[in-house]
Structure 1
């Protein structure tokens, strides 16, 4: 009987990963296309990718696929051949991480979801078939020099904070579903201007471009492959990068450096810093920016309170954590109520 789910503990899988000697390649990709039977498609993917020792997370929905995985280098071509054997994924663009050790994932997770990116759209007239025009890195740089161009960042605040395109507008919300109507409201009166949407890998800005067209905007573009593909193109073609700083990524690295600019500050002391970390107190686990000096001062914690907590006996720590709802524990200026006081 084929294996369709992981049956080994996370600790054991992580141990095996770090014992591997063969390098891995980290890849992200997505595609909007109609999936008639998401569960059947999910099982088909899992069986083949499991045999290729692929790790990572993949979401399947009726609207398509969204994935971030790592593949042993010796299996990369077989992996690509398998993906391209699926007609809707043939010649799919694969975003290969530019700054990665291949140790971000140690288990394969393939899940069926309602949508590959939650959008809150309920209008039955909305369709992904009518979306904005792709722009590559060279076209992006050209459009950025025009006065009638507006650039919209469709990522969260903590992503925007450490890196973004020059003159990019931040949509101040925590969730993509809130950002979509906010972007429409913020752009009213600019229906005839060039509007470029961008995000990390392209999946959010592609849907956002379709939503803007659906709401009457005329000249809508979206960055093909997002920041990941843009960084690869400017580097490969020796072009100037109009994206400055770091590109936040959703794995253990928490960031890929695109340029040497450090545009963010340590949330504790205010020094220039763009290193994200999670609070070492498991009862907090706040995502925030911390410099090396503050990391040592607070033992990797976001506050003196959390620092004191991690030095308590484990049983006492468990008692403190019991019943706490951490919610979306992210340092976010757009949602100040989510942020505990950072001492410093």
Structure 2
């Protein structure tokens, strides 16, 4: 029985083009107690592979975190399968604002220790004692509330291209880093201020809200469904959009445009730009912001050194990478001394 991918990304891309069918990009998460994550992982793979589901899914004893693509014509069958699983019945599905048939090219379902890397010792607090969930209309009111402090729980490369008005955007590489920084910055606000958090789809804020309640914050709020659901509600209800720029997403699209504002700049020349790319040198693969002009000038590389590497024959490039740890700088996205125009936000907060 097939429990793993048998096609390469290139082969799958060709099949998608040949099929000519529309696909939906979807994300969801659910904290739950899963007794045997490996068995559950295999069960999902069997059923979802049959539905031509593609994506990146993490399963752990604490629940499931999924970003995936499904044929539009099979969406109802996929939803019915989710509803047949007790703890996933009627789970909120975040449907992408901008669709791309090639957002995912493989089905990867992995068993992990956590469904999102958070570095927390969950045994010290109740992860179900979460904050108050709010929709787009309530969130807009909180953004304007002088007694509320809005915090972006995403990493620096995410908030750099888009964030909410008046939000604190910590200059961090990981979710875990932001937790202590925010607690320290807001230590005098635990009793009388409203802590309002948001992230891409809600999964990071869900745990952060329980963590901060454990740390003594009295009024903790979370944007339900994150930026993705917020945008859907704003457009459906014709609400004022408080989000400026793009929403970073973790698939081949890299971002969804939420407003026409460009709030970031090219990391190489400083011109207004909010398009991420990966360095063309596979031995580097650094994620950074690059405008079209610099992409042409630098041959889609982050530095002249990387340009020299990709000018070599492919076999020579492979020799240079051989024996070296192939990291895509996952914790250094957008950070390199060669990126002269990378800006760091000011996260200092003054609590009245």
Unaligned runs of 5+ in 1: none
SS in 1 for 2:70: strand
Q: 2 CA distance for matches of 1:147 and 1:190?
A: 12
Partner of 1:286: 286
Equivalent residue, structure 2, for 1:265 = 265
Partner of 1:54: 53
Residues 1:112 and 2:111 aligned together: yes
Q: How many residues align?
A: 340
Matches of 2:129 and 2:153 in 1, distance apart?
19
Q: Which residue of 1 aligns with 2:22?
A: 23
**8 A contact 1:330–1:339 mirrored in 2:** no
Aligned residues of 1:247 and 1:258 also touching (Cα < 8 A): yes
TM norm structure 1: 0.94
CA RMSD across the alignment: 1.8
Asked whether the equivalents of residues 281 and 307 of structure 1 are also in contact (C-alpha less than 8 Å), the reply is yes
Q: How does 1:1-344 map to 2 (within 5 A)?
A: 2-122=1-121, 124-191=123-190, 192-325=192-325, 327=327, 329=329, 338-342=335-339
> Residue 253 of structure 1: SS of its match in structure 2?
coil
Contact kept in structure 1, 2:116 and 2:204, CA below 8 Å: yes
3-state SS, counterpart of residue 251 of structure 2: coil
My pick for the range that moved more, 272-281 or 306-315, is: 306-315
- Supply the distance in 1 between the matched residues of 2:276 and 2:119 (Cα, whole angstroms): 28
Secondary structure in structure 1 of the residue aligned to 2:197: strand
Unaligned runs of 5+ in 2: 342-352
Q: Distance in 2 between matches of 1:170 and 1:326?
A: 30
Give how far 1:291 is off: 0.6
Cα deviation for residue 326 of structure 1 reads 5.4
Structure 1 distance, partners of 2:315, 2:88, is 50
Distance in structure 1 (CA, Å) of the matches to 2:42 and 2:314: 40
Conserved in 1, the CA contact under 8 Å of 2:202 and 2:223? yes
Distance of 1:184 and 1:201 partners within structure 2: 22
SS in 2 for 1:169: coil
SS at match of 1:167: coil
Give me the TM-score of the superposition, normalised by structure 2. Answer: 0.92
Deviations 1:286-315 (A, max 9, x none): 100011111111111111221222111222
CA distance in 1, matches of 2:156, 2:37: 32
